[in-house]
Structure 1
């Protein structure tokens, strides 16, 4: 198969392969340094983040030169096709520099209405979660591959908040009001856990957990998870039930019933 005949998902897999090959030599290395991108607070970036995004951009220049690129570490590149590759070379850099295997490479292909395919890749554990609706050059995809082989992705059937497992990355979630909304949901669920970055979204798509609630996201944080979770049968919206592919407050749910219950609590007015 020639490069020009590659499907969009095949291109996404090539991007993930290339990024992982660049990143892994840096993971848990004793001399890995991190720069802080913020004047206040801590938002780290490493040479691995930048090298992986540069590698993916170079590959897209070869395989999809007409498409735009939106990445975390470098300026956006305009395209002429109406489509944009949305890249987060290491989602969860705080975890990466701490040695936890909960970071991932996020790759999405997006049109105006949002992402049409997504990949969440964890190179260290060799797990890859892929999702899309049926596209012109490929059938619908909702699958994971890893050490235990290939498996279809399917969200859990949980409908009652009292039986749900909820994840978020940071205990503080966001502003005081956002934290209060999150706490209202957390008080109703069976189990709340923290600190998983994009891996939490992958676990939701794989049917291991039920809810992810976050705030302050960028487009490159959420577009790949949207595509993967929706392909697996779940929902991803903002806290009002609208589109969230541009970033902001995200609610991912395994079922419509959990989604509706969480939205009501997130927006509760005393």
Structure 2
């Protein structure tokens, strides 16, 4: 994939599918053991809402999403080298890929505070990829409840 261009496979354009409803989604994660702290109950809540939770595949799951063979990829403890190359693939197929707050995925990601003005080390990031914006928004709604509780920003 290239930013701003359609994703292709063997010259054919790929199209992510939009299942519309979270309850109809086939969701991949590399392993349920990648979720720690507040991300573990957040993922569990999401897992209980989808039609079929699936595990394994690593980055291959993102290719399945871009080709319309699954609806969601939800992961945590990801580093920039894990997700940066996937952004144009997913977006070029009409999908959506963000962090768990709906923000863009960048090389810099969240960083630990550095000392004396130095930049801190990169921190793992959560990734949410969806075939359609409606199911992406439904996921964010669930995930934000747990993020807000963790950060103390609940209403």
User: What is the alpha-carbon distance in structure 2 between the residues aligned to residue 245 and residue 197 of structure 1?
Assistant: 19
Q: Say if 1:161 and 1:258, in contact at 8 Å, map to a contact too.
A: yes
Give the match for residue 181 of structure 1: 42
Gapped regions of structure 2 (runs ≥ 5): 110-124, 150-155
Considering only CA atoms, is the larger Rg found in Structure 1 or Structure 2? 1
SS in 1 for 2:28: strand
Give the match for residue 142 of structure 1: 7
- Relative to its length, the structure with more strand (as a share) is 1
Q: Are 1:132 and 2:2 matched, yes or no?
A: yes
User: What is the alpha-carbon distance in structure 2 between the residues aligned to residue 177 and residue 185 of structure 1?
Assistant: 13
Q: Provide TM-score, normalisation by structure 1.
A: 0.46
Deviation at residue 141 of structure 1 after TM alignment? 3.4
Q: Provide TM-score, normalisation by structure 2.
A: 0.79
Aligned pair count reads: 131
Give the match for residue 255 of structure 1: 132
User: What is the alpha-carbon distance in structure 2 between the residues aligned to residue 194 and residue 257 of structure 1?
Assistant: 23
Structure 2 counterparts to residues 83-102 of structure 1, below 5 A: none
Give the match for residue 265 of structure 1: 142
Q: 1:203 aligns with which of 64, 74, 79?
A: 64
Q: Say if 1:166 and 1:211, in contact at 8 Å, map to a contact too.
A: yes
Say which structure, 1 or 2, has more relative contact order (CA 8 Å, 6+ apart).
Answer: 2
* Pair 1:213–1:231, CA change in 2 (3 A): same
Gapped regions of structure 1 (runs ≥ 5): 1-130, 135-139
Q: Are 1:230 and 2:60 matched, yes or no?
A: no
